[in-house]
Amino acid sequence: MERSRRYLLYVKGSLLDSQINEFASMVHDRMTECIYVEKLTSFKTSIVPEEVRYIPVMEKGRKALEEINEEMGLAFDEQDLQYYTKLFRDDIKRNPTNVELFDIAQSNSEHSRHWFFTGKLVIDGQPMDKTLMQIVKSTLLANPNNSVIGFKDNSSAIKGFPVKQLRPIQPGSTCPLDTVTTDLDVLFTAETHNFPCAVAPYPGAETGAGGRIRDTHATGRGSFVVASTAGYCVGNLNIEGSYAPWEDPSFTYPANLASPLQILIDASNGASDYGNKFGEPLIQGYTRTFGMRLPSGERREWLKPIMFSAGIGQIDHRHITKGEPEIGMLVVKIGGPAYRIGMGGGAASSMVSGQNDAELDFNAVQRGDAEMAQKLYRVVRACIEMGDSNPIISIHDQGAGGNCNVVKEIIHPQGAKIDIRAIVVGDHTMSVLEIWGAEYQEQDAILVKPESRDLLQAICSRERLSMAVIGTINGEGRIVLVDSVATEKCKSSGLPPPPPAVDLELEKVLGDMPKKTFEFNRMKNLREPLDIAPATTVLDSLKRVLRLPSVCSKRFLTTKVDRCVTGLVAQQQTVGPLQITLADVAVIAQTYTDLTGGACSIGEQPIKGLLDSKAMARLAVGEALTNLVWAKVTSLSDVKASGNWMYAAKLDGEGAAMYDAAIALFEAMIELGIAIDGGKDSLSMAAHSSEEVVKAPGNLVISTYVTCPDITKTVTPDLKLGDDGVLLHIDLARGKRRLGGSALAQVFDQIGDESPDLDDVSYLKTVFNEVQNLISDELISAGHDISDGGLIVNALEMAFAGNCGIRLDLTSSGSTIPETLFAEELGLLIEVSKKNVDLVLEKLHHGDVSADIIGQVTSSPIVELKVDGVTHLDEETSVLRDMWEETSFQLEKFQRLDSCVELEKEGLKNRHEPSWKLSFTPTFTDDKYMTAISKPKVAVIREEGSNGDREMSAAFSAAGFEPWDVAMSDLLNGVITLDEFRGIVFVGGFSYADVLDSAKGWGASIRFNQPLLNQFQAFYNRPDTFSLGVCNGCQLMALLGWVPGPQVGGVFGAGGDPSQPRFIHNESGRFECRFTNVTIEETPAIMFKGMEGSTLGVWAAHGEGRAYFPDDSIFNHILGSNLAPVKYCDDDGTPTEVYPFNPNGSPLGVAAICSPDGRHLAMMPHPERCFLMWQYPWYPKNWDVEKKGPSPWLRMFQNAREWCS
C-alpha cells in the first residue's frame, strides 16, 4: 500500500524555497518517499537503470579494485585486494562485473564471514594456538549435553519436551485448530544492528529486530517465533535541563551520526514498534550509557551504539536439520518485493564509522515492514505445522548482502542458474546490481521440491505473500545470474545473449578461503584509584547512582512495548503490585496446556572491561547466571548461551583484550559445565569525532537460555511478606568489595583501579544449585541479583517493587562505606519468611553456601540503613523510588504527552496495592464440554497484520469450543462462509499496519464488498450467534456499527454515521502496554454473566484505544443501558479517567461496549492473554486461585460456551 501526505503550513509572511526544502527534509524519509513540489501529470519516470559494467582488472590490476573499492564502499582490506586481484587476473582470467565485486564484498565482509573470529591472531609477537572461534566453540565440544543445534544455523537450539501444541489440523487452509503432541525444542538467537542505528536509529532498530525475527523462523527447516529481548548501549545522553555531573560538556559528536539521546529513543521505538506490529513480545533487556575521558587521556564512548536483539523460540525436533540441495530442487524467494533499500549494509557495518562516504552509509540502512514480516512468518509457520509433510527443505533469511548472500547460501555447494527478472520488484527502475544487492527486508530464500510448488503457492496466496521461483539447483557448483529480459531483447535483435552479471565458482568465493592474520599488542591501562570526597553521604551518592541509565527504572522502555502478545509469556519485565520494571529472568511457556517452557537472561559488564577484560568476561557469565537462577530450570548443565562481541577489534589493544576475554570465558564456562552455542560479532565499534577515533568500551553480552520443567516456579524481585520478611545476602565475592567500573565510579566521572571479579567459579556453581533447590521447595518469596549499583541499590529496588520498606543492618568488615554499599561484586539477595529463616540457612549451610541476615522487610514504606550500627539512611521508599524513576520519566517526555508523564510521576508517589476482588471462583471448564464430540464452532477471524489469533483460539479451546482459523482472504474468496459458526471473533493486532488508522483498512474490506457485508450482517442478525472483538477487533466492531448497534444509534453498514462511537489515539500519544485494573459492572453482555462486581487485572496493549463518543445522547444511552460492561479503575476499584490507570483516556473509564441484547461485545483489553494464572504478572495473596489453574478471565469464554448450550 502506498500512502501520500499533504502538509498545510500556517505562516506569517512568505516561505523561502530553502525553508520549504528544510521542512520537507524533516518530514520525509528520502529512501522510501519522494517530495512532489507540483502536481503529478504522469506515473512514468525518466530514471534509466544502470547497466552492468566491467571493472578493468586485466588491464589495471589491483588499482582497478582499489578504485571501485573506494567508489562503492566495498570495505576490501589489504588481504582482500590481493586475493581478488589474483582470483580474477590469474585464475578466472577475465574482468569482473561491478555486480560480482559488490556480491563478493557483501557475502565475504567481516559482518558476514567473521574473518577476525576465524583468523590467525598474533599477540605481542606470539602466534596464538587457537582462533577465537575455536576457543568459543570448545565450550560446546566439552559440554554438548542437550544441544541439538550449535554454531551451524541462524539460531541455536536445545532439547525441549514433548508437548501438546495447538495448531490447525490442515495448516495453510481454513480449518479448526486442535492440540497435537510433538517434540518442541527451545531455540535462541542474538545479534546486533549497530551501524544502522548510528545512522538512522528508528529504521536501523526496526530492521535489527526484523532480521533477528527471520533468523528465528529460518532455523532448521523453519521454526516458531515466541519472544524477544533487547539491549542498548549509547553515549552520554546530555538531556537538556537535566544535570548529570558525570557527562563531559566539552565532548563533541559526529554530524553524520545520530546523537546518543536520539539513538536511545528512536532505536528503542523502532525495535518496540516492529515487535508490536509483528506480534512478538519483548520481555527482557538492558540499557547502558557511557562517555568518559580515561586517565590515559583516551575518550571512550558509544558513539557507534549497540542495538542488541535476541529471540527465544521453538522448533519441531523433526525440523532441526536443513536438507541438502539436490539437482532439480527449486530456488524460491518468498516475502516482500525488492526496493532500492540497504545497499552495501554488510560492508558498511564492517567499517569504523566515518571511514565511509556519508551517502553510502545512508544508502546502507534498510527499512522495515512488520506487516510483511508477519505474513512471511505465517507462510513459514503453516509449512512447519505440517510436520513430516513440511515442504521446506532448507530456508535462509535475507539479511546482509541481500540476494548476493542468501541465494548463494541456499544453493551451496551444488550451484544454480538464477534469473534476476524472476525476482519480484516493487520499483522497476532498479538496476541488476540493486536487485541483486539491496538488503530489502522481510524475505526468505527456500528450497522446495518441484512437486511442492503448488502447495507453497496456495499457502502464499492465502496470506497474500509474493512467491517467485528464481532458479533450479543444477549441480554445476556455480552461481550464475542471468537477465532474461536483456537476453530476450538481444534475441529479438539478432544479437548474442549478454554474458551473466555473475558467473562464479561457489567454492572460490564462499568455500574455504585463505584465513586472515591479525597482529596486536596488549595495552597497559593507566589506572587511578577511586577518589570520592569523604563528606559525600550515602544519600548524595544515591542521588547520582539512581539516575544513571544502567541503574534507573526502565519504565521508558517497557510501557511502550507489547509484553503479553502470544499469551505464552510467563515472566516479563514488570513485577509486583505496581508493575515496576525489575525482573531478572524472562520465561516463556511452550504451550497453553503444558507447564514446561524456557528461560533466558542477560549478563554484560563492559565498563569493568576498561580495567580488566578477563574479569569482565567472567562477570558477564556470573551476572547472566545470577539473573537466570530465579527460574526453576532443568539443570545448570543444560544452560547454553549466545555470546555477542562488540569491540573495535582491529584498533590498538582491543584485539588482544578480546582474546583475553575469550580465554577467561572459556575457562569459566568449562568449570561451570555450561557452553556457548552461538552468537555474533560486531568488530568495528568506533567512530571518528573531532579528529580522534573514539572507541566504544568493548562488550561481551552473554545471553543464557535453558529449559524449565515448571514455569510457575519463578521468583521475582518484589518483596512480598511485609513485616514477616527477612533479607538474606549470599556473597559470591566472599567479602571482597572492589569499586572499579561501578556505577558509583561512573557518576563521579571515574572508573577506579580494581574491577570486581568472579574469583571462585566453582562457588557460583554451588550457589546456583542450592538456590534452585530452595525455589523447588518454595522457600524463597523474592530474589534479586547484585549488579549495577551494588547491594544498596538492589535492596532498594526490591522495596520499590514491593511498595514496602526495609531495615538494613550491615557490617563493613573492614571495607569503606562506599565499598560496602556500592561495590558490584556478584551476589544474591533473597526474601524468606521468619518461620523459614533457620530452615533456609540450614539448607544453604548443608550445601556449603554461606548466607547472612542483612535486614528485615517492613510494611511501613521506610528505608533504614545502618552500617556497623551507625545510621546512614532514613528515608521514605517513595522518595528514593522517585530518584530511581527520574531519568526514566525525563526520557518519557520525548515519547509521550508531558501531562501524562507528570500524572504518572506524581501518582506513583502515593500508589498502593490494587484492591481487587472476585465475585466468583475460577475453575477449569467442565469435562462435558471439553470432551464433547461436537463442539460449537467459533471463527477466529484475522486480517493482514492481525497477530492475536493463536492465544484467542487457545482461550476458546479451553472453554470447550472448536476454534477455526479464518483469514479474511478465505471469506473474500468464498472458501468458507459464516453460516456454520455460532461465534466469530475479530482478533487483536495491527491490520494493514494501522496505515490508515486502526481497523479502517479491515473495515473497508468488509464494508465495500457488498456480498461479504451481507454475510456479516446476516450473522449479526441471527439470534443464535455471538461476536467478540478485542483490541484491533474492538476498533473494527465499532467502525462496523456492531456496538452498541443500530438499536442505539450507530448505523450498521457501508453508509457510515459520524455519530457512531469509535476508538481513537491514546491520550498519551503512543502505544501503551500495561497490566491494568478494570471493574466489571452490571451488563446484558452474555460473556460477563456472573462476573459482575469483580475488580481485577487484565492486559491492555494498544495505541488507539480511547473510546470516542461524538454524540452525547448515544453515550448517555450506553451508560444508562449498562452497555459499557468493563471500565478502567484506580487502585481502589473506582472507574477513572486518570492516567495511567486509564491507559488511553476513555471517558469514564469505558473499556468495552456491548449490544443491547448482550450478544456482541467489543473490548480493548486482552482477556485471551491472561486466561491462565501463570499469564498473570501479579495477583494479591488473598485471591483464592491456583497459580497453575485458570484465571478469572476464562469465565468469559466459558459463559459464551454455556450460552451456546
- Residues annotated as catalytic are 1031, 1166, 1168
Spatial separation of the C-alpha atoms in residues 937 and 617, rounded to whole Å: 55
Helix (H, G, I), strand (E, B) or coil at 1147: helix
Question: Which has the closest alpha carbon to 695: 309, 295, 364, 293?
Answer: 293
Cell of 62: 589491483
C-alpha distances (whole Å) from 1027 to each of 72, 256, 480, 1099 are 57, 53, 55, 20
The residues near 275 (Cβ < 8 Å, ≥ 6 apart) are 209, 213, 228, 281, 282, 370, 561, 562
What are residue 1147's phi and psi, to 5 degrees?
A: -60, 135
Q: Dihedral (C-alpha) 239, 242, 245, 248: value to the nearest 10 degrees?
A: 30
Whether the Cβ atoms of residue 604 and residue 678 lie closer than 8 Å to each other: no
Spatial separation of the C-alpha atoms in residues 150 and 574, rounded to whole Å: 32
Task: Identify any residues that bridge with 418 across adjacent strands, giving them in sequence order.
Answer: 471, 481
Q: DSSP states of 684-697 as a string?
A: --EEEETTEEEEPP
- Which strands sit side by side in the sheet containing 870-876, from one edge to the other? 782-786, 827-833, 725-731, 852-858, 805-810, 862-867, 870-876
Cell of 863: 528505608
Q: Could you tell me where the DSSP H helices lie in 629-723?
A: 654-672
Q: What is the Cα 788 distance to its own chain's centre?
A: 22
Q: What is the Cα 345 distance to its own chain's centre?
A: 21
Spatial separation of the C-alpha atoms in residues 706 and 187, rounded to whole Å: 9
Type and span of the H or E element at 62: helix 62-72
Helix (H, G, I), strand (E, B) or coil at 954: helix
Type and span of the H or E element at 180: strand 175-192
What are residue 805's phi and psi, to 5 degrees?
A: -115, 170
Biggest distance spanned by C-alpha atoms of the chain: 98
Q: Among all chains, which residue has been given the C-alpha cell 539447483?
A: 473
The DSSP letter of residue 223 is -
Spatial separation of the C-alpha atoms in residues 147 and 158, rounded to whole Å: 4
Cell of 349: 557495518
Whether the Cβ atoms of residue 567 and residue 1167 lie closer than 8 Å to each other: no
Whether the Cβ atoms of residue 523 and residue 698 lie closer than 8 Å to each other: no
Whether the Cβ atoms of residue 1115 and residue 1123 lie closer than 8 Å to each other: no
Q: DSSP states of 1018-1071 as a string?
A: HHHH-TT-EEEEETHHHHHHHHHT-SS-TTTTPPPSSS--TTS-EEE--TTSS-
Spatial separation of the C-alpha atoms in residues 601 and 584, rounded to whole Å: 7
Question: Which has the closest alpha carbon to 712: 1185, 165, 224?
Answer: 1185
Question: Which has the closest alpha carbon to 1027: 972, 1082, 978, 1083?
Answer: 978
Question: Which has the closest alpha carbon to 620: 700, 518, 524?
Answer: 700
Give me Rg for the CA atoms of the chain. 30
Strand 681-682 to 640-646 pairing: parallel
Spatial separation of the C-alpha atoms in residues 449 and 930, rounded to whole Å: 40
Helix (H, G, I), strand (E, B) or coil at 714: strand
Q: What is the Cα 903 distance to its own chain's centre?
A: 28
